[in-house]
Amino acid sequence: MIKVGIIGSTGYAGSELVRILLAHKEVEIAWFGSRSYIDKKYSSVYQNFFQLIDAKCMDDNMEELAKQVDVIFTATPQGFCASLINEDILSKTKIIDLSADFRIKDVKVYEEWYKIEHKSPQYIEEAVYGLCEINREDVKKARLVANPGCYTTCSILTCYPLVKEGLIDPDTIIIDAKSGTSGAGRGAKVDNLFCEVNENMKAYGVATHRHTPEIEEQLGYACGKQLKLNFTPHLVPMNRGILATAYASLKEEVTYEQVKAVYDKYYDNEKFVRVLDKDVCPQTKWVEGSNFVDVNFKIDPRTNRIIMMGAIDNLVKGAAGQAVQNMNLMFGFKESEGLELVPMFP
């Protein structure tokens, strides 16, 4: 049994961490951190935890928290974790950061896209990018994990096998992605009001979305060179889910069986990546509430391009579930502990 603390426990990703960890047999939640709700009962913020959690929300004192727990989850805005982390804290506890503070290895790229100064660049190189299916062995040895973004998790895992095996030209990749409104967080914003979102669909962050360099960096590692791609996110009127559809030019003529064999090579033994049957397209409703990533592809011989598709729950595999998967690896637990969640429907 280990003790965990969550800073940012009253955001959507933070509350999803609480939901998952309550059912984790190796974990005790010792700290429900929330700057906005200090001394309020956690179950008064999220009534679904009534009679399940009696604890009150505490502050975000990472120095004190590090003395009490084995791992800290920071489900906080960009810049927060980097502003507090130090060697004393890392000598006492492990950290899984759900923000972008340590995902991008080039500090100048981070500062350019996020428009803030990085407060602890000395830890960027050490931080492990926590995409378990790709960096599993490095995660096991880490004391600081950068939990990937939701759009990036879906986009990278959808494209990774074909980029890694060189079947596609990586500089031709175009990613069109759609997300439910929970991806924007719990803060009140006019753009996320019901009347703004309902019966509407829109692109945003066109050519400027902050997940772009993260996707480029990780797929660049896969193909062994820097690449540039187009990534366009869209907001859709649903609570949860991400659907990514990626397009790329094939380097040579391939059959369905050849491409399927490539996906199977990387994902046959992955519990949480499901390569669907031929001609079955991923749908967000079939992964909702789960840690699964559903992927598939379609070859278009007319244009010599391939369409790659992926679907995840942005709050589970795109945030909290992936963070717990990383924690399991870091502490030697069964990787799927607490995460064997059957997708919810309807």
Query: Are 163 and 307 contained in the same domain?
Result: yes
CATH code of the domain in which 213 resides: 3.30.360.10
Longest dimension (CA), the chain: 62
pLDDT category at 63 given cuts 50, 70, 90 is: very high
Q: Where are the strands (E) in 214-316, listed by range?
A: 230-235, 242-249, 273-275, 293-300, 305-312
**Does 24 lie in the same domain as 173?**
no
| Same-domain check for residues 156 and 105 | no
Residues 191 and 296 in one domain: yes
Hey, how many other C-beta atoms are within 10 angstroms of the C-beta on 283?
14
Number of domains forming the structure of the chain: 2
Average pLDDT on 309-317 reads 98
Distance CA 41, CA 53 (A): 8
Which residues form the domain of 235?
A: 151-314
Average pLDDT, whole number, for the chain? 97
Long-range contacts of 264-269 (CB under 8 A, 24+ apart): 265/161, 265/165, 266/133, 266/160, 266/161, 266/164, 267/133, 267/161, 267/295
Whether residue 76 is found in the same domain as residue 110: yes
What's the CATH number where 84 sits?
A: 3.40.50.720
Please write the tens of the pLDDT for every residue from 205-256: 999 999 999 999 999 999 999 999 999 999 999 999 999 999 999 999 999 9
> How confident is the model at residue 246, as a pLDDT?
98
**Are residues 94 and 166 part of one domain?**
no
* Domain assignment of residue 182, yes or no: yes
- Rounded Cα distance, 220 and 104, in Å: 12
94 bridge partner residues:
71
Whole-number pLDDT of residue 187 = 83
| Mean pLDDT confidence for 181-188 | 87
Is pTM beyond 0.85? Reply is yes
Catalytic residue (one of 57, 81, 132, 150): 150
Within-domain flag for 54: yes
Would you state the structure tokens that stand for residue 164, as one six-digit string? 């890694």
Crossing angle between the packed helical segments 132-140 and 321-330, to the nearest 10 degrees: 40
Q: Is residue 332 one of the residues assigned to a domain? A: no
Tell me how crowded residue 311 is: count the other CB atoms within 10 A of its CB: 28
Q: Are residues 227 and 113 in the same domain?
A: no
Query: Is 132 designated active site?
Result: no
Backbone angles phi, psi at 298, to 5 degrees: -145, 125
Assess whether 260 and 177 both reside in one domain.
Answer: yes
296 domain residue, yes or no: yes
Q: What per-residue confidence (pLDDT) applies to 131?
A: 98
Q: Is residue 254 part of a domain?
A: yes
Buried-state track 1-20, b at ≥16 Cβ within 10 A, e below 16: ebebbbbbbbbbbbbbbbbb
Is 180 found in the same domain as 253? Answer: yes
Judged by phi (left if over 0) then psi (alpha if -120 to 50, else beta), residue 29 lies in: beta
Domain-embedded: residue 320? no
Residue 191: predicted pLDDT: 86
